Chains A and B, each alone.
Chain A
Amino acid sequence: MKNYLKPTSYKKIGDNYILWFENSNQYVVVSSFIYKLVLLYLDKSSYQKWVESCSTLQLEISELNSLYQEISTFLTQASKKEQTSNLSTKTDYPKNTTSVEEIKFYKYQNVCFNIKFSKSNILNIIKNPIEHLQNRTRTSPESKIHFQLICDKNHIYFLKNNNLISIEPLNRIHYIQGKVTMEILKLTNQIEESKFIATFHSAAIGNGKKGILLTGISGSGKSTLSALLASQGFDILSDDLTPMVEGNLILSNPSALSIKEGAFNTIESTHPNFRNSGTVLNLKKNIKVKYLPLKKFSDRNTPLPCHQIIKVNYSKKSKESLKKINCNSILDTLIPDSWISPKKENAESFLNWISQCQFYELTYNENQFAIDQVKALFKTTLS
């Protein structure tokens, strides 16, 4: 028995199995057929014994040989300890920045904090989505947590109470944005990072009792659909980073929805104030992004269960449908785009959760169709 190559945990999802290897923090989806061959590989002490045990599978010897090599290579690689990245070995940050700084004061869930920004247009990516959290009636002693974002020519530095907590190259500002969001969530929910199961790269909507995750590539219509559902009384829990905490409950993330220019008219029809409010991030090449702040934060603080994931696909040409799909079609983007805690109990919690989820694909071109389909899903209960 090759115990040292065994996956740390596994779960069955539909016709597939999802395996998790603690050393590499890798998730691997295999068909039931391949999973059976992997188990035999782990159980048999030699190639010959493995081939004998596979005799009922009607595979040619050349195929068996190739499969054996693949399984062997894969398991060896997946069981290797993850190499720690030496990308961010810098521990120092520029203390005397010449750029003009500004301090903004924020309040969310009755917790006050401030962020000092060095002057840089790039930081608008972080500043704009949380602009609505600004505490304009602040009294200065309230903030005990001081964050700082500093840019130099090549890097962005993120500090908390003068301690450096993250450095990224400029073109990885979305990692700093993720870190800022995480720090705000930890602070305002009073939850330590070890209790977070994951932060999914997805939107989430809720009805006060449960949530549904919306995934899809950029431009797939997630944010637009979220805004449309909000106009129908649903809560927008998050726009593009959905936190999950222990108990497999999702939290709301207060960052504003980012709406791309193509959807401005649609959103203005359901959110009349959108025309005159919101901040605009101008990317060159005439690409505009406007932010729609979420409302009723205080009503949306209850963590919610969530067992449905919809892959959203806005397409003018395709036939509209909502159909159940194989987990692979969602996991192949959800896992690589999301942070999943590498702690064993958290990873196992994620596996338990994902194995109980239902996966759907929504293709739409008429807004009403999408709204009706999601409304109907909210009414379903898991079998």
Chain B
Amino acid sequence: MTKKNQENQITRKEAIKRMGKYAALTAAGTFLILNPAKAQVGSPPDPGGGFERNGQGDFEDMFEG
């Protein structure tokens, strides 16, 4: 049997392996579920990340005049 034919007969474990890191996205890595943004959105303006995680009280303090 050629290698190609063998690849067509992949098991679920192989399928999950092929999904790589996305396997963590569902309980057993079977599906990569993606929800688009609900509205048009630009980049969060904090280049260092963590923008979404800041509480509203901290937000204004991030900017200089």
A283-B47 contact in complex given A15-B18, A74-B30, A331-B32, C-beta closer than 8 Å? yes
A201 and B42 CA atoms in complex are apart in Å by: 7
> Which one, A178-186, A205-213, A295-303, A361-369, is touching chain B?
A178-186
A20 and B51 CA atoms in complex are apart in Å by: 30
- The reply to whether B60 and A170 form a contact with Cβ atoms under 8 Å apart is yes
List residues of chain B with CB within 8 A of the CB of A142: none
List residues of chain B with CB within 8 A of the CB of A218: 43-44, 47, 49
Which of A34, A284, A339 contacts B39, CB < 8 Å? Answer: A339
Most buried by A among B31, B35, B40, B56: B40
> Which one, A42-50, A62-70, A94-102, A315-323, is touching chain B?
A62-70
List residues of chain B with CB within 8 A of the CB of A170: 56, 59-60
- The reply to whether A25 and B26 form a contact with Cβ atoms under 8 Å apart is no
Chain B contact patch, size range: 35 or more
Verify if A5 is at the interface (C-beta below 8 Å from B): no
- The reply to whether A31 and B44 form a contact with Cβ atoms under 8 Å apart is no
- The reply to whether A174 and B41 form a contact with Cβ atoms under 8 Å apart is yes
**What 0/1 readout, one digit per residue, does chain A (26-61) give for beta carbons within 8 Å of chain B?**
111111011000000000000000000000011100
- The reply to whether A337 and B18 form a contact with Cβ atoms under 8 Å apart is no
Verify if B1 is at the interface (C-beta below 8 Å from A): no
A335 and B32 CA atoms in complex are apart in Å by: 11
List residues of chain B with CB within 8 A of the CB of A382: none
List residues of chain A with CB within 8 A of the CB of B9: 58
Which of A58, A284, A332 contacts B62, CB < 8 Å? Answer: A284
A121 and B65 CA atoms in complex are apart in Å by: 6
**What 0/1 readout, one digit per residue, does chain B (46-58) give for beta carbons within 8 Å of chain A?**
1111011011100
List residues of chain B with CB within 8 A of the CB of A255: 42
A125 and B63 CA atoms in complex are apart in Å by: 10
Which of A31, A284, A332, A340 contacts B61, CB < 8 Å? Answer: A284
List residues of chain B with CB within 8 A of the CB of A181: 40, 42
Which of B11, B22, B60 contacts A328, CB < 8 Å? Answer: B22
- The reply to whether A282 and B52 form a contact with Cβ atoms under 8 Å apart is no
A178 and B37 CA atoms in complex are apart in Å by: 11
Verify if A143 is at the interface (C-beta below 8 Å from B): no
A58 and B14 CA atoms in complex are apart in Å by: 12
A371 and B22 CA atoms in complex are apart in Å by: 30
**What 0/1 readout, one digit per residue, does chain B (5-38) give for beta carbons within 8 Å of chain A?**
0000111101100111010011110111111111
- The reply to whether A171 and B64 form a contact with Cβ atoms under 8 Å apart is no
A71 and B56 CA atoms in complex are apart in Å by: 39
Residue pairs across A and B with Cβ atoms less than 8 A apart, 12 shown, are A28-B32, A29-B34, A34-B12, A59-B11, A171-B52, A174-B41, A174-B43, A175-B42, A178-B42, A284-B61, A336-B35, A337-B37
Binding site for B on A (CB under 8 A): 15, 24-31, 33-34, 57-59, 63, 66-67, 70-71, 74, 78, 85, 121-122, 124-125, 154, 166, 169-175, 177-179, 181-182, 198-199, 201, 218-219, 240-241, 255, 258, 260, 281-285, 287, 289, 328, 331-332, 335-340, 342
Binding site for A on B (CB under 8 A): 9-12, 14-15, 18-20, 22, 25-28, 30-49, 51-52, 54-56, 59-65
7 smallest beta-carbon distances between A and B, as pairs: A178-B40, A335-B34, A29-B32, A121-B63, A282-B64, A177-B42, A340-B36
